[in-house]
A = this chain, B = another copy of it.
Amino acid sequence: MLDKIINSAITKEGAGARLEDDNNGGTLVLLAVIKEKLPDGQNLPLPPVILAELGKDPQNPTLCFYGHVDVQPAKKDDGWKTDPYTLTEINGNLYGRGATDNKGPVLAWINAVETFRALKLAMPVNFKFVIEGMEEAGSLGLEKLLEEEKQCFFADVDYIVISDNLWLSNSKPALTYGTRGNACFFVEVESGDKDLHSGTFGGIIHEPMMDLIALLDSLVDPTGHIRIPGIYDSVAALTEEERKLYESIEFDLEEHKNNSGVKKFLYDTKEEILLHLWRYPSLSIHGIEGAFHEPGTKTVIPAKVIGKFSIRQVPHMDLSVVKRQVVEYLEDVFSKRNSPNKLKVSMPLGAEPWVADINDPLYIAARRAVKTVFREDPDFIRDGSTIPIARMFQTIMQKSVIMLPIGAADDGEHSQNEKISRYNYIEGTKVFAAFFLEISKLHGQLQETSNTKTDN
C-alpha cells in the first residue's frame, strides 16, 4: 500500500504530493517530495518525506514524532558478522544496519501506537509522523518542508519527539536535553597566484604557511582553553540544579578513553569531562587545504593555504558574535606579523546549539515513563556534537522538543555490526506507550490550570 503511494507521489511534480488514505482508520498519509537543484540546473527529486497523522481528538495533545529510514552504507565485507540487511538475532541482540539508527526506534514508536489500537484502548494523544529518508545526507530539503507545512500539516502540533540518538551508558536510560552547535571557519592566507620553490624563494619571503600556522597556533592554549577574547562571555552559567544532574550520570570514563585511543584526557573527573563535552565550547583544528599533504617530501612553498577549524558553541553563544570575535582576533594576530600576505577569514557553516528546559512537560512526562518501565530515573544528558534537527523543529514550530533515545551506548550506530538489543527495543516501546499516557495526563492538567486561570 505504502509502496504504491510513494511510487505515485514521486512521479508527481513539485513538493507536497498529497494522497489521502481514509480507509485506514482516519490515517492521513502525505508524501512530500522536495526537489534539489543540482549545479547543472537539473531538478532532482529527493526521497519523499512521509508525513502521516493519526487522530484528531481536540481533547488530546498532538505529538509530532520524527524519525528516519535511510541508513549509513554497509557491506558484509566491511567486517559484519551477519548480512547487514537481514535482521539477525544473536544472544538477545538484533543486528542489522539501521537497527538502532533509526529504523528500530521508528518501529518501536509504531508498535506502541499499535498496542493501543490492538487493546482497543482510547488513544491518549493525536499523532503526526515525519519520517524522512535523507537524514544521513544532512536532511536535505527537510527545513524547507517544515517551513512550508508549519501552518498546514503541523498547525496543531503541541510537542515534538525525536528518538534518533543513544543513551550515554550501556544500561541506564537517558533523556537528551541539549546539543552543541558547530561554527566552521576557513582562514585563508595568500601570497600570490603560484606556489614557489623553497630553494629559489626560501628565506626571503613571508611564507603564507608560516602566517597560517601562527594564526592557528593562537587559537587554543595547551590546556584546551580558547584564546579568542570574549568567546566565553555568553556561555550560560552553570546552575546548582544543572551541576547536580552530572553527579548521578552513568558514564564509563575509562571506556570513553579507550574508545578514543588517547592516553589521557584534558580533565580527570567524569563531571569535568561531561561539562567540557556538553556545555562549554571547544575548538578543533581539522586541517589545511592547499599545502602539501601527500606522503614523501616536496620542496614547495604553497602560495595559498586555507586552515580549517571549528568551534562547537553552546548556549547562549550567538553565531554572529562568535564570527565577529574570531575574525577580529585573527585579524589582530595577523596584523602583528607585518605580513604582506592577504588574510581572509570566513564562516562557511554555522549551526546553532540546542538546549531544552528539563522542567518542560515533555521531560517530566518522559522521566515518569522511564521510571515506570525501568524502575529508575533517567540520566539527563547532552550531546557534544551537533544534531540540527532538534533546533530546526524548535525554531520553526515554536514548540518544545525532546530527544528520547531508546538505544544503548554500545549499539554501534554508523559502525559494523550495528544492533539494538531485544530488551531495549521492547522496553523502549513500553517507554513510548507510557509516555503517551503521561504527556496526555500532564497536558490535560496544564490545560485545566490554564482554563482555571482564564476563568478567574
Contact = CB atoms under 8 A, between A and B. Distances in A.
Interface of A: 180, 182, 184, 191-194, 196-207, 209-210, 213-214, 216-217, 220, 222, 224, 260-267, 273, 276-277, 280-289, 291-295, 297-303, 308, 310, 312, 336-341, 348-349, 383-386
23 contacts: A182-B199, A184-B297, A193-B261, A198-B282, A198-B286, A202-B282, A202-B283, A202-B284, A203-B277, A203-B281, A203-B312, A209-B284, A209-B287, A210-B220, A213-B285, A222-B336, A222-B339, A263-B340, A285-B291, A286-B292, A286-B297, A289-B293, A292-B308
Contacts of A273: 204
A154 to B, nearest CB: 28
B204 A214 contact: no
Contacts of A383: 199
Counting every copy of the chain, the complex holds: 2
A189 to B, nearest CB: 12
B340 A209 contact: no
A192 B291 CA distance: 24
B182 A203 contact: no
A47 to B, nearest CB: 23
Contacts of A337: 222
Contacts of A386: 199
A348 B204 CA distance: 25
A267 B298 CA distance: 25
A202 B311 CA distance: 9
A206 B199 CA distance: 35
B302 A286 contact: yes
Given A184-B297, A191-B260, A286-B300, 5 more contacts: A198-B385, A199-B386, A204-B224, A204-B265, A204-B266
Contact of A199 (B192, B302, B303, B385): B385
A286 to B, nearest CB: 4
Given A213-B216, A265-B205, A384 B200 contact: yes
B213 A217 contact: yes
Q: Which 8 A-B pairs have the closest CB atoms?
A: A199-B385, A192-B261, A203-B282, A287-B292, A287-B291, A264-B340, A217-B217, A202-B282
Contacts of A203: 224, 266, 276-277, 280-282, 312, 384
A209 B309 CA distance: 10
Given A297-B349, A310-B297, A260 B292 contact: no
Contact of A284 (B214, B283, B299): B299
Contacts of A210: 220, 222, 285
Nearest to A216: B213
A297 B209 contact: no
A184 B298 CA distance: 9
B297 A293 contact: no
Nearest to A291: B287
